[in-house]
Copies of this chain bind each other. A is one copy, B any other.
Amino acid sequence: MESQIRLGICGYGNLGRACVSEIGKNPDMTLRAVFTRRNPGDLPDTGVPAVRMGDAAQWRGELDVMLLCGGSANDLPVQGPELARMFSTVDSFDTHAKIPAYLDAMDKAAALGGNLSVISAGWDPGLFSLMRLYTESFLPKGKGYTFWGRGVSQGHSDAVRGVKGVENAVQYTIPSESAMQRIRGGETPELTAREKHTRLCFVAAAEGADRARIEREIKEMPDYFKDYDTEVRFVSASELLDNHAGLPHGGSVIRVGTTGGANTQTAEFSIKLDSNPEFTASVLLATARAAYRLYAQGARGARTLFDIPPALLIPQDPLAAVRELM
């Protein structure tokens, strides 16, 4: 029997709160403290001390793994390397283009601190990345696709909220069912962004705001909406709260491969999530178990899920996992 894995949570937003809710589903883990940039007294009671982030150093040696629950845009690039010098860490850093640079920064920091960091351990990047890797390894001649949704994109919702006259907004990313059906049928089309996903915005506009202008500004927003077919629906602020307060998400990784002469082999992994942050938290927690075990084996520096033997993720001992799951 391994001793309990002592965890800290750094950042108490959607993901941090979800880690608190999910930790109890892992009997080999115990939460020791929550670290926050806010006034610790303002946090709701989680049953463990709330600690000012600046005091984290005082917890060295008290935690086996720190779960980094800050945002990828602004928090993790700074907090990650700082904390990796003090603790072994796990995070779900998700700015795809910046993962190599972040991995490098975390590797240096963790090595310097004698710690182990596992980065980008959510569902994409994370579980979906694993699916892309396995399916490409096992079907080397082929083409892979990733679809996201139907689900709430926080980044796109924030972008809509930034439009003048918008009081609140929720954006759903919706995968093209017809594109997915073609691929499932063995086709390997080249698809534009517009052909893969559509975007649906529920917008609560301020009283008297120019709705035509709001709709135009959303649809023409570069990077976020311009390359997509976007629908804007104006709703009341209360309808937004009543019907769109959840954070569902999902998606699919599909690969179509060819073997032999012209045999078609398709593989698809899909998830459908009522709660995006709670699933991400679940992945983080299993990855914390793997980080704890890898560290115990002597590993230092930074890793991704690509480097983690799957057996390290599951509570069972390796032979029990073979018996029950192989």
Could you list which residues of chain A lie within 8 angstroms of chain B, going by C-beta atoms? Answer: 18, 21-22, 25-26, 96, 99-100, 103, 120, 125, 127, 129-134, 136-141, 184, 257, 259-260, 263-275, 278-279, 281-283, 286, 304-311, 313-315, 318-319, 321-323, 325-326
Contact = CB atoms under 8 A, between A and B. Distances in A.
A309 B125 CA distance: 17
Specify how many copies of this chain sit in the oligomer: 2
A272 B325 CA distance: 21
Chain A, interface SS category: helix
Contacts of A306: 309-311, 318, 321-322, 325-326
B99 A322 contact: yes
Contacts of A99: 322-323, 326
A288 to B, nearest CB: 11
> Which 4 interchain pairs have the tightest Cβ spacing?
A259-B278, A263-B274, A137-B313, A306-B311
B259 A265 contact: no
A323 B21 contact: no
Nearest to A306: B311
Nearest to A305: B310
A124 to B, nearest CB: 9
B313 A307 contact: no
With a 10 A CB-CB cut-off, give which of A282, A286, A310 has the most chain B CB atoms: A310
14 contacts: A18-B259, A25-B140, A25-B259, A96-B326, A103-B322, A133-B313, A134-B310, A140-B286, A265-B273, A265-B275, A265-B282, A267-B269, A268-B268, A305-B310
Contact of A308 (B131, B132, B304, B309): B309
Contact of A136 (B134, B278, B325): B325
Contact of A271 (B96, B259, B267, B274): B267
Given A141-B25, A265-B278, A286-B138, A133 B307 contact: no
